[in-house]
Amino acid sequence: MAAAPKLPRGARSRILFRIMRTYMKPYWKRMLLVLVLMLSANAFALVGPWLSGQALNAIADRNGVRFGDVYRTLAWMAAFYLASALLSYLVSRLMVGLGQRIAYRMREDVFDKLMKMPVGYFDRNATGDIVSRISYDIDTINASLSNDLLQILASLVTVIGSLVMMAVICPILLVVFAVTVPISLLFTRYKSKKIRPLFSRRSAKLGELNGYAEEMLSGQKSIKAYTREEVITGRFDRYNEEACQAYYRADYQAAIIGPTVNFINNLSLVLITTLGGMLYMFTVFAYPMPAVFQIEIGAVGSFVQYSRKFTGPINEFANIINEIHSALSAGDRVFRLLDEEEEVQDVPGAEKLEDVCGDVALSHVRFGYTPERVVLGDLSLDVRAGQTIAIVGPTGAGKTTIINLLMRFYDPQSGRICLDGRDLRDCTMVSVRRSYTMVLQDTWLFYGTIRDNIRYGHEEATEEEIRAAAKAAHIDSYIESLPDGYGTILSDDGVNISKGQKQMLTIARAMLLRSPLLILDEATSNVDSRTEMQIRDSMEELMKDRTCFIIAHRLSTIEKADQILVVKDGDVIERGTHRELLSRPTFYRDLYRSQFETSGGPPAADPELFA
């Protein structure tokens, strides 16, 4: 589609080598077989025109048609073509199998890698980008691997073979290519140099158009509310115009290529005909000249056919090189993903946590996602089993970071975190995470039945248990109202399920898991107040006897916490119970009051605090 971005020369060959080493080497025997078959197929096909020339000579014999020779030659021709067709089908078949195997393995590798990537990777990279690596990029590599590499080899065979055949038939006529091949090469070189930037510009402009369209589509409702449709469309038209114009400019230059390639082919034909016709005339009329100059009419015919075979691949070459370039930059993107640093791994001999009570201790924890930007400065915290800890504070203050550390999505840079007195770093990752149940603001459901979504992480749950969990989350009656009940498939375009209902499903999922610790990160923010009240009992049931960490905007849900941490700029600035914090002038008190403020109340002292 678009010209590949330029990679440095060294990087290109490194990527190529790596693709071959990792993905093609295991199949080298098969590749070798394919190569041999392909060379034979091409060689067989090359014999065809020579045989047809022989047949024509037999026809054009001055003593009348030598039918025996003609038929024998034709039988050979048919046999060679048949063999060539069979072989090339076999080659394609083998290559399809091979290409698919390689693609399968690449996708598998990328996915495995994704499963080992730290969660931060998914925060930093757009989902669309990750998806395009595993689909579009791997497709590009695969298409190029299975076609281009072999095609280059095959083309080489064809080019060299045709050249040899033509030299055998009539070396003098080869002079023609001394004219057309340099023209051809110079032309493609010149053109691709000139066109390449036009094509990058074309994709850049298209990218800008896409970006603008994406942004404006996301604001469509507002645009309509302000009836700005015409104005915005007018601006879109400018991007559209530029994109179309860039496309046209590239096309305008590229429009020369096809006809010119054709022209060069025709030019070869003209020269061969004129020169060949002349030599043929000299031969017919027995002009005095060296024997190598003599030519039969059949030879002219064969020569013309070989000349087509000879110029074809040369003109294709530029295309193939371009394809290989884009495959290599796709390879670069895929390998860069495969080379990303993985999530921290278990230390050797890591302990498996069992029968966790739920005592959590953080001592002098310091953490930042990058070494330069510290998110948590020096956090210490002691939680006894069964306690409820609420974390409050403005957006970006580090609330979610604490959760990330507790579940060991990240390790602190200094200080330590202990669960039941054991340092998390000495425990297996799985046993640490399995100790927690988590309900997040971003509800996550996958394509599958409601049943599978509820029992996710606890596959052995019985139907009764699933129902009980759904009932407790007040979602059972809704599920039963669906035609397929618990077997209903959740998909993007299928059942119309509201945000609130999605959240209830994830709460039901949490109800089913019996882990000693619970994390609620804005768990009920999508549920409206009335429903929240209705599931309050179930939530309390869920929290009973567990160590709980709660992040919430609705302060009513955290009043009962044993300890409230107010986090601001990475530090805990206040801590205590609800009552304690309200009893003195605190940031928390200001925050708490604001939820009851009406427009008549006093303006907040510092409007930026919570912005």
Partner 1 sequence: MGVGFTIKVLGTLIELAIPQILSYILDEIVPKNDLGLVFAWGGLMLLCALGALVGNIVANRMASRVARDGARAIRHDLFAKIMHLSARDVDRFTVPSLESRLTTDTYNVHNFIGMIQRIGIRAPLLLVGGLAFTLMLDPVLTLVMLGVMPLIVLTVFLVSSRGIPLYRKAQKSVDGMVRVVREDSQGVRVIRALSQAGYERQRFETVNRQLTQDEKRAQLTMILSNPLINLFINIGLVGVIFFGATRVSRSLTSPATIIAFMQFFVMVSNGILALTRIFVQATKSTASMNRIDEVLRCEEDCAVDLTHARTAEAVPGAPLLCFDHVTFGYLDGKVALKDLSFSLEKGQMLGIIGSTGSGKSTILQLMMRFYDVNPDGGGVFLEGRDVRSMTAEQVRSRFGIVRQNDFLYADTIAENIRFGREAGQKDLLDAAERAQALDFITRLPDSFEHRIASHGADLSGGQRQRLLIARALLGHPDILILDDSSSALDYRTDANLRHAIAALPERPTTVVVAQRISAVQEADLILVLDHGQVIGAGKHEELMRTCPVYEEIARSQMGDGNGGAAYE
Name beta bridge partners: 519. Answer: 438, 549
CA distance 595 to 189: 70
Footprint of partner 1 on residues 141-180 (CB under 8 A)? none
* Cα dihedral 414→418→422→427 (10° resolution): -80
Binding span for partner 1 by CB under 8 A among 20-28, 172-180, 190-198, 255-263: 255-263
Cβ–Cβ < 8 Å for 522, 441: yes
CA distance 502 to 399: 23
Chain CA centroid to CA 66, Å: 63
Count how many residues are written for the chain.
611
Q: Where are the alpha helices (DSSP H) in 290-342?
A: 297-338
CA distance 267 to 221: 60
Q: Which of 124, 464, 492, 585 binds partner 1 (CB under 8 A)?
A: 492
Binding span for partner 1 by CB under 8 A among 189-197, 299-307, 327-335, 363-371: 299-307
Footprint of partner 1 on residues 62-101 (CB under 8 A)? 64-65, 67, 70-71, 74, 77-78, 81-82, 84-86, 88-89, 92-93, 96-97, 99-101
- To the nearest whole angstrom, how small is the minimum distance from the Cβ of residue 497 to partner 1? 11
Cβ–Cβ < 8 Å for 461, 455: yes
Footprint of partner 1 on residues 543-582 (CB under 8 A)? 553-556, 559, 582
CA distance 146 to 607: 62
Q: Which of 354, 459, 460, 464 binds partner 1 (CB under 8 A)?
A: 459
Q: Which of 160, 167, 270, 482 binds partner 1 (CB under 8 A)?
A: 270
Q: Which of 225, 372, 414, 421 binds partner 1 (CB under 8 A)?
A: 225
Residue 182 is a binding residue for partner 1 (CB under 8 A): no
CA distance 375 to 362: 15
The DSSP letter of residue 31 is H
Q: Which of 433, 471, 568, 575 binds partner 1 (CB under 8 A)?
A: 433
Residue 338 is a binding residue for partner 1 (CB under 8 A): no
Dmax (CA) for the chain in angstroms is 123
Site string for partner 1, 188-217 (x = CB under 8 A): ------------------x--xx--xxxxx
- To the nearest whole angstrom, how small is the minimum distance from the Cβ of residue 14 to partner 1? 27
Residue 600 is a binding residue for partner 1 (CB under 8 A): yes
Cβ–Cβ < 8 Å for 568, 589: no
- Tokens 């294709």 identify what position? 316
Site string for partner 1, 37-56 (x = CB under 8 A): --------x--x---x--xx
Residue 611 is a binding residue for partner 1 (CB under 8 A): yes
- To the nearest whole angstrom, how small is the minimum distance from the Cβ of residue 206 to partner 1? 7
- Taking Cα atoms as reference points, which of 91, 96, 94 lies closest to residue 37? 91
Instruction: Give CB contacts under 8 A, 24+ apart, made by 583-588.
Output: 588/392, 588/564
Footprint of partner 1 on residues 497-516 (CB under 8 A)? 498-500, 513
Of the pair 12, 390, the CB lying nearest partner 1 is at: 390
Cβ–Cβ < 8 Å for 350, 427: yes
Q: Which of 33, 35, 163, 223 binds partner 1 (CB under 8 A)?
A: 223
Q: Which of 6, 308, 364, 544 binds partner 1 (CB under 8 A)?
A: 308
Q: Which two tokens stand for residue 412?
A: 């602190």
Residue 409 is a binding residue for partner 1 (CB under 8 A): yes
Of the pair 335, 610, the CB lying nearest partner 1 is at: 610
Using CB under 8 A as the binding criterion, the count of chain residues that bind partner 1 stands at 170
Pairing label, strands 376-383, 388-392:
unpaired
